[in-house]
Each structure stands twice: as C-alpha cells, then as structure tokens.
A and B are shown apart, each in its own frame.
Chain A
Amino acid sequence: MNSTVGDRRRARRTNRPPVLAVLMAGIAVAFFALPFFGLLWRVPWSEAWSLLTDPESLKALRLSVYCSLWATALAVVFGTPLAWVLARYGFPGRRIVRALCLLSLVLPPVVGGVALFAAFGRRGLLGDPLFDWFGVRLPFSTAGVVLAQTFVGMPFFVLTVEAALRGLDRRAEDAARTLGASPWYAFRRVTLPAIKPALFAGAVLAWARAFGEFGATITFAGNFPGRTRTLPLAVYLALESNPGQALVLSVFMIAISFAVIVGLRDRWLGGSSDGDPT
C-alpha cells in the first residue's frame, strides 16, 4: 500500500538526524573538545613528569585526595539520612529544607565560600562558640577545605540517593518488617542493597565535585601550601608563576575527571562533575 511505503520512507528519514542538527552538534562537540586539545598541545611534555612530581604539586595532590575523600565520607554519612528523610517523610516546609540543602548546586562557589565565612568564620555565627568550646578555627585550615568541599559536593550525593529512594518500592521494606526486621535492619538488608548503585554514583559525583572545588575553598580556607592549597588552587597559582605546571596539572585533573565520568557510564551523566575555577 502507498501509505506503508510512505511510512517506511519517513521512518528511514527520521533515523538520520537533520543536517543542521549535526552541524550544530558538531560545533558543540568541538567547543568541548578544543580546549582539551589546546591543553594537550600546549603542555610541555618533556618536563611533564618532573612538573607533576615536584614537591609542591605532590603536596597539593596529597591534600586534594585527603580532603576530597573526607568530604565524600561526610557527604555519605550525613547525606544518606538526609536523602532518606527528604524522600520518605512529609513534613511542613520540606520543600524549603530541600531547596536549602541543594542550594549550593546552583550557587557560585565564591558565594558559598563567603556564606561559610559568615557562618563559621572568626566573627561568624558559630565562629566564637566553635573556638571557645572546641578550640577550632575552621577558616584557613585543612578542616575548612573539607567543609567547603562537603558544602559543594554533598548535594550531588543527596540528589542522586533521594531520587533512588523515591523510585524504590517501599513494599519490600514492609515485607521485611512483617518478618521481624527492625526499621534499621530492613534499611540495611533490603533498602541499602537496592540503592547501592545510586549510593556509589552519588558518592563518585560528590567526590569529583569536591576534588575540583576551587571558589569556596579559596574564599573560606585560603591558599596555604600543604594546608589548604589543593590541586585546583595550585593550578590557579601556577598559571602566573609557572604556566607549564598549570597545564600539566590541568591535564592531570581532566584525566581523572574523565576517567570518573566514563566509569559512571552514560546514565549517571546527569550532573556536572568538574569544578569550575571561578
């Protein structure tokens, strides 16, 4: 029949994207790829290894790994119950609480740093009590870096896990309860295994964000070698004193982020995982 032939022809045509779309998409790909190739092109490859392994770089790398892993741990420990409460319990103002917790996703990191300062800084909301009671000064300390990274990284974890919990069938938990499982036991043996992929994905996203954190860190924790100077800060600093080193460190960080994104597969590509040095 005529209509069948027409349908088939139309179907075949829709399988191939329009030329214009291909063109625009090509430009977009180039836009993302070019800076990366530019980096690769500019990197002084002969000195790359020595620049990457010089004591200052290694110090920054060590600090970055240390702080970002702590930030990820905090995000998981506090983010899981938070995601649980947000996903499972209706309470007045839940939407506002949720928005507050996810605010740093859309906040310029510098603003986050300023806000952290206002809360935990020397003259901040909790600055004096923290010092008087615990002898803790968060700003310009390694703990401050962890705090700043957690602040920007945790929403990624909470968002991912909350979505998984919402999508989860509660009926399995109900069944577990009738079998004598306490809420905690049911959570551990029924809920956690079911959301394991989301926990993992959320933790990796939070880690990647923490690892690349710049704005909040430099605002709140400053830029002290060995104490608060993480890799992104080292890159920024090296840009003036030793551009070759900045390039090498940048490529190194891109390689790590890229590995993380590829490792996460396409379906977890929802959120950005790279820090933007603003």
Chain B
Amino acid sequence: MSLHARVVAELSTFRLDVDVDIEDGETVAVLGPNGAGKSTLVKAIAGLRPLDEGFVRIDSIVFDDPDTGVFVAPEQRNIGVVFQDHRLFPQLDALDNVAFGLRARGMSRTEARRVARAWLDRMHLSDHAAQKLDTLSGGQAQRVALARALASEPRLLLLDEPLAALDAATRAEVRRDLRTHLTGTTASALLITHDPVDAYALADRVIVIEDGRVTQSGDLSEVTTHPQSRYVADLVGTNLVPGTIDAGVLRTSDGVSIAVPADSPDGPAFASIRPGSVALHRSEPEGSARNVWLVEVIELDVRADRIRVRLDGPIGLVAELTPPGHEALALRPGDRIWASVKASEVGISEDFSR
C-alpha cells in the first residue's frame, strides 16, 4: 500500500499545501511546530475534512479529489487513526473499544471480542480488558487506542502526536509498542510529531511542515545535516545517539562512551547533542569537556547566519559554527580535527523502544 497525496486546505490564518508520499511499508514522520497544519493533514487524509484542492490516493484508488468530485467517506477508507487524546469511547470498556471497528464493519460480537482480546494481549493489556476508560492510565489508554486502530487492519495508520500527551516514561513505553508494530508489519504509517526522538525511533523519512508548507523532507540524517530553516536547525537538527546509560556514561552499540549528566537514570536512552554545543578545535583541547573525539570533516553547509559541519568519527556528529568561528577555523572537507562536548550539555531521552 502506498499513499500519494497533495493536501490543500484553506485554514483561517493560512493555507495548508503539502505533498505527502508514503511507499509500501514505510513510516514517514511529519515534524512541525504547533499550528503548522499537521492535524489538518491527518484529518484530510482520514476523510474527516474534505480537501479544498489536491488529491488523496492510496495505491490506485482515489479517496478525495475536488476536481472530479470524488470523496470517499472516512468509514470507507480503512485508514486507522490514533489521536493525541486517544478518543476512546467512555461508555465502553477497553475490550469493546478495540472491538468497535470490527463490529462497525459487521463482525459478530463474539468474533470481534475474540480478535480484540488478541490485540489487547499483544499490547500486554489483557488484564485491563474489562476496565472502563476512566480507570486506565494515560499510557494504557493510548495503547488501547493503538490496538483499536490496528484491530481493523488498516491500509494506512495515521498517528497524530500519539505520544505528546504522555509523561516521559510512559512515552518511551508506548513508543516501544509503536515500534514493534510499525517494524513488525508491512503497514505504512504517517507519524505526526514534534519530537525528533519519535522520528528517529520510528520513521524512515521525515517531512518538515512550517506554516502550511513543506520546508524540508528526506532522511533524518540528511535533514539533520542540512537544516533548511531555523526551526529545523533547532529541533530536528540535533544529534541523537542511541545507547545504554550506566553510571553517568552512555555506551553505544559500537562501544563508544559518552559522558552524560551524572544524574541521568541508567538504562537505554538517546543522548541528544545540539550542534551548537559541539566545540571544534584544531589541536587536542585541554579543559573540562569530558567528551573529546578525533573526527574528520565530511561536509560543510554554509549559510549566512550559521555553518553546519558534518563530522565522522567514533560517532557521526553535526556541529554548528558561527560565521566568526568558521572563519577562525577555516575548515575544509577531509580535515582531521577535535570535537568536544561537555557532559552537562548532553540531553537525555529515556528510550524503552529497544
């Protein structure tokens, strides 16, 4: 299943005009600041909001095309949606919430409940089948919502900030469940998020939307290296290094150690290093920075206000220089230099997805 869409929607303050293509089995993350039009995009693809212009097509089936007057109702699309606020039905227990879509499509109650129970099992929620919504924790509710969306085996899964309403620990757990299902199946998915960690953990590709327009798209590493806007540079253009923390040191699977803030909890985590906090030196630095690596300059992305330097070493890194700093160092691709990062400048996101 592959999605091809151009979504144009006239919103009160701006116009959303975005192209989205998802190939078979691919997960694409849509990143963008609040109010960029991300949720409208989800609504339009799901059929909850008709397009003003453009088209939505899955494989060769047209779902929405104002030019030809084609509009397929949401219930006919079989596109699963997981909303930020889970939107479970309060009058039903967890099991019947998951069974809802199957019942709506005509499955008998017994059979629907049997399938729903299997989905709850897969989400490790079998003990909560008979619970009503208000007795579930936020993470449990969101996992029930995920099971509910997946139970009808949708052609495409739309995840509208599914982790945003959860606390950090729960977020990591639900992210793990998501990862299991996104990589374990051939289903395609569109993930709306404003957290680059989600994109890193779950997506094959990212699309960045700002003010209703795509400002950048591509592999995460590509976007990190060549951020096209300040927003991308600040948010997406962060170095994320997965590893396991033990006593203030994060070790990657390649055996590289990164000193992190001493109070970081032990366990799997992402170290996030802002490019601006990577200091570059021509000679081995002395001083307080505990993370010092010998690296090679791969590429320079020179902009008027900032210069991004892609580095290869024990870990791949992107550093950002100010124009004066760039002038002083006079870097060229192939140069071997020193990169340092203070432990206190390393951010930590716990990661239970592995």
- List chain A positions with a Cβ less than 8 A from chain B: 171-172, 174-182, 185, 189-190, 193-194
- How far, in Å, is B73 (CB) from chain A's closest CB? 7
Task: Give 18 CB contacts A-B under 8 Å.
Answer: A171-B85, A174-B43, A174-B87, A176-B89, A177-B47, A177-B48, A177-B73, A177-B75, A178-B48, A178-B77, A178-B79, A179-B100, A179-B148, A179-B152, A180-B75, A180-B101, A181-B101, A189-B104
State the CA gap A172–B145 with chains docked (Å).
12
Smallest CB-CB separation from B85: which chain A residue?
A: A171
State the CA gap A190–B75 with chains docked (Å).
14
- How far, in Å, is A164 (CB) from chain B's closest CB? 14
In the complex, B149 has a CB within 8 A of chain A: yes
For A179, list chain B residues within 8 Å (CB): 75, 80, 100-101, 104, 148-149, 152
A176 and B80 in contact, given A171-B87, A181-B75, A193-B91 (Cβ under 8 angstroms): no
For A189, list chain B residues within 8 Å (CB): 89, 100, 104
B104 touches A181 (CB 8 A): yes
- How far, in Å, is B156 (CB) from chain A's closest CB? 11
B91 touches A178 (CB 8 A): no
State the CA gap A194–B88 with chains docked (Å).
12
A171 touches B75 (CB 8 A): no
Find B83's partner among A171, A182, A190 (CB 8 Å cutoff): A171
State the CA gap A7–B74 with chains docked (Å).
57
A180 and B78 in contact, given A171-B83, A175-B83 (Cβ under 8 angstroms): yes
Most buried by A among B48, B73, B74: B74
In the complex, B240 has a CB within 8 A of chain A: no
B89 touches A178 (CB 8 A): no
Find B105's partner among A172, A174, A177, A180 (CB 8 Å cutoff): A180
State the CA gap A174–B46 with chains docked (Å).
10
A176 touches B100 (CB 8 A): yes
State the CA gap A193–B91 with chains docked (Å).
7
Find B104's partner among A171, A172, A176 (CB 8 Å cutoff): A176
| Interchain residue pairs A-B with the least CB separation, the first 10 | A179-B101, A175-B87, A181-B104, A177-B74, A193-B91, A178-B81, A180-B104, A180-B105, A180-B75, A174-B48
- How far, in Å, is A31 (CB) from chain B's closest CB? 43
State the CA gap A90–B78 with chains docked (Å).
28
For A176, list chain B residues within 8 Å (CB): 89, 100, 104
- How far, in Å, is B43 (CB) from chain A's closest CB? 8
For B85, list chain A residues within 8 Å (CB): 171
State the CA gap A190–B85 with chains docked (Å).
16
Most buried by A among B46, B73, B80, B89: B89
For B48, list chain A residues within 8 Å (CB): 174, 177-178
Q: A176-B89, A176-B100, A180-B78 are in contact. List 13 more A-B contacts (CB 8 A).
A: A172-B87, A172-B89, A177-B74, A178-B46, A178-B47, A178-B48, A178-B79, A178-B80, A179-B80, A179-B149, A180-B105, A181-B104, A182-B75
- How far, in Å, is A136 (CB) from chain B's closest CB? 40
State the CA gap A180–B90 with chains docked (Å).
18
State the CA gap A172–B47 with chains docked (Å).
15
State the CA gap A194–B92 with chains docked (Å).
11
For A193, list chain B residues within 8 Å (CB): 89, 91
For B43, list chain A residues within 8 Å (CB): 174
Most buried by B among A180, A185, A189: A180
A194 touches B100 (CB 8 A): no
State the CA gap A180–B95 with chains docked (Å).
17
State the CA gap A182–B73 with chains docked (Å).
9
Kindly identify, within residues 47 to 96 of chain B, every residue whose CB is under 8 Å from any CB belonging to chain A.
47-48, 73-75, 77-81, 83, 85, 87, 89-91
For B101, list chain A residues within 8 Å (CB): 179-181
State the CA gap A172–B159 with chains docked (Å).
16
State the CA gap A175–B73 with chains docked (Å).
13
For B83, list chain A residues within 8 Å (CB): 171, 175
- How far, in Å, is A177 (CB) from chain B's closest CB? 4
For A171, list chain B residues within 8 Å (CB): 83, 85, 87
State the CA gap A177–B152 with chains docked (Å).
12
For B87, list chain A residues within 8 Å (CB): 171-172, 174-175
State the CA gap A176–B80 with chains docked (Å).
10
For A185, list chain B residues within 8 Å (CB): 75, 104
State the CA gap A190–B90 with chains docked (Å).
9
- How far, in Å, is A201 (CB) from chain B's closest CB? 17
For A174, list chain B residues within 8 Å (CB): 43, 48, 74, 87
Smallest CB-CB separation from A192: which chain B residue?
A: B91
Kindly identify, within residues 195 to 251 of chain B, every residue whose CB is under 8 Å from any CB belonging to chain A.
none
Smallest CB-CB separation from B100: which chain A residue?
A: A179
Smallest CB-CB separation from A169: which chain B residue?
A: B87
State the CA gap A176–B96 with chains docked (Å).
12
- How far, in Å, is A150 (CB) from chain B's closest CB? 30
Kindly identify, within residues 113 to 153 of chain B, every residue whose CB is under 8 Å from any CB belonging to chain A.
148-149, 152
State the CA gap A181–B76 with chains docked (Å).
9
Most buried by B among A172, A177, A190, A193: A177
Kindly identify, within residues 11 to 58 of chain B, every residue whose CB is under 8 Å from any CB belonging to chain A.
43, 46-48
A178 and B100 in contact, given A171-B83, A171-B87, A194-B91 (Cβ under 8 angstroms): no
State the CA gap A171–B83 with chains docked (Å).
10
State the CA gap A178–B74 with chains docked (Å).
5
- How far, in Å, is B312 (CB) from chain A's closest CB? 44
State the CA gap A174–B83 with chains docked (Å).
10
Smallest CB-CB separation from A171: which chain B residue?
A: B87
- How far, in Å, is A89 (CB) from chain B's closest CB? 15
For B104, list chain A residues within 8 Å (CB): 176, 179-182, 185, 189
